[in-house]
Amino acid sequence: MPRWTFLPLLAAASLVGLPAAAQTLTVNITNVNSNEGRVMASICGDPTAQFPGGCNTASAMVPASQGTTTVVFENVAPGSYALQAFHDANADMIPNIPPEGFAFGNDASFPPSFKSAAVKVEGDTIATVRMNYLSELGSAAPPKAAPAEKGAPAPAGVAKTVVRDDGLLGAFYMPEGTARRPALLVLGGSEGGLSASSGVGVSFAKQGYAVLALAYFMEDGLPQSLENIPLEYFDKAIDWLKRQPGVDADAIGVIGGSRGSEAALLLASRNTSIKAVMAFAPSGVVWQGLNFANPMNMGPAWTVDGKALPFVTPDGMKYRPGAAMKPMFDAALATETRKDVDIPVERIKAPILLISGKEDALWPSFDMGEAITKRLAAANFAYPVQHLAYDGAGHMVFMGDPTAASAQSMSRTPPNAMMGGTPEAGLAAWTQNWPLTLAFFDNALKGQ
């Protein structure tokens, strides 16, 4: 079966600040064959757009529930919406079909048209669709999906441990051998969980780094939305890393992408144990939280000592379904005059590496990266600062090792209007910035 593009859940921010509408679309997805992973769903309100993929009026992600999983889209304007969903059993956010399952509105067969998969919303609406698994063909009973492992598997020569200490949830990758290792804390973005962070982390573990890929929401025992996340949680993760046998407690760096860049820069600004910080598709300000289930009433993303950090709210009036989301953030930044929403990067006591794509359509990461470098220069920042910016690249500007399977898969994905850039430019950026990123951390943490 051919694959289609399922837009990343970063796009769920598209509903921020939109005028309220009364309709709720509830989708009951039957025949889900296990509790493993998540069910991801999206609706497309543009009949002229590419479907499936290429159009995302709203999206949602919920833990998979064997039998029937319910996904709710709130504040949906009246109209017709083509529906798609898949069972992301291994939590990598990629439709691996087979063995993972898929569903379309009206149980339309593949390949569906907008019309065949369209659900009409008139007032509160309930729709029911069936999850399909190609492996069910010729079988009387749906097979069980393989258990989803937390985080990417360990490569050869690296030991992996699932971390559940002190309220943390992460995947720790430790290269074999007796040498003391520099360590990296790796943070994903608004997709939540461990899929993205562990994928990037494995690339560094192969290069001799001890890596803690850390989930901070959208996992068992953690908040299910990017709201009210205590920055102390990340301090706790650094303390955990310091205690691990074989870790050089004086050589710890942090990596964060997209919304995770906020956490990484905020952590480094308040924790002097951080000796190097890298942020890709970065933000220079604190943005509003993100709640897939309640996008019209979202709280702060981060807290310190139980108090919310001031934040900027994207201007939802600038959003257009299926189009770039960057105008929402541009408009908010253009009118924002408060200084208390700036991430205090001047307080960081470590070298900083920023990586951005000049064609990022999700948010203005290039502009925010430039703003960070200018602020640091004006403050006579005492540590090296580098901003790698790439023509033609979009939001997905860094993937770790460009030869990794995830990077190669992304390089073959059709262009995504909401992420920006082209797969070719993305791969070119990854190929260039990977050795530069390694050199940055090697110089800062290995003394090379």
Record the tokens describing residue 249, joined without a space.
Answer: 């407690």
Burial (0-12, 13-18, 19+ Cβ within 10 Å), 90: buried
One-character DSSP codes across 63-102: E--SEEEEEEEEEEPSEEEEEEEEEETTSSSS--TTTS-E
Q: Both 113 and 197 in a single domain? A: no
The amino acid at residue 166 is D
With respect to residue 54, please indicate whether it lies within any of the assigned structural domains: yes
Domain CATH code at residue 26: 2.60.40.10
Q: Is residue 363 part of a domain?
A: yes
User: Residues 125, 20: one domain?
Assistant: yes
Position 306 in a domain: no
- Say whether both 206 and 73 belong to one domain: no
Question: Is there a single domain that holds both residue 194 and residue 81?
Answer: no
CA 342 – CA 365 distance, rounded (Å): 14
Judge contact between 443 and 350, C-beta under 8 A: no
The predicted pLDDT at position 434 comes to 98
Whether 200 and 63 share a structural domain: no
Please name the residue that has the structure tokens 């608004």. Answer: 190
- Segment-wise mean pLDDT, segments of 10 residues, the chain, 448 residues: 36 36 84 88 82 74 90 88 88 70 87 88 91 62 45 93 94 94 96 89 97 93 93 98 97 98 98 98 96 78 97 87 83 96 98 98 97 98 98 95 77 74 94 98 88
Q: Examine the domain organization and report whether 125 and 170 are in the same domain.
A: no
> Do 120 and 206 fall into the same domain?
no
Count: domains in the chain: 2
Q: What is the predicted pLDDT for the residue at 416?
A: 72
Is there a domain that residue 164 lies in?
yes
Buried b (16+ CB within 10 A) or exposed e, 283-299: bbbbbbbbbbeebeebb
With tokens 């192969």, the residue in question is 206
224 and 100 share one domain: no
pLDDT value at residue 293: 67
Regarding whether 75 and 172 lie in a shared domain, the answer is no
> Residue 387 is part of a domain; what is its CATH number?
3.40.50.1820
Q: Domain for residue 319, yes or no?
A: no
363 and 267 part of one domain: yes
Question: Burial level of 117, CB count in 10 A (0-12/13-18/19+)?
Answer: buried
End-to-end CA distance of the chain: give it in Å, rounded: 48
* Structural domain range at position 441: 158-284+343-446
Q: Which pTM value belongs to this model?
A: 0.73
At residue 23, the pLDDT reads 83
Single residue among 101, 134, 167 that ends a domain in this structure: 134
Please report whether residue 409 resides in a domain.
yes
> Does a structural domain hold residue 365?
yes
Cβ pair 171, 201 in contact under 8 A: yes
Tell whether 253 and 353 lie within a shared domain: yes
- Classify residue 189: in a domain, yes or no: yes
Residues 164 and 253 in one domain: yes
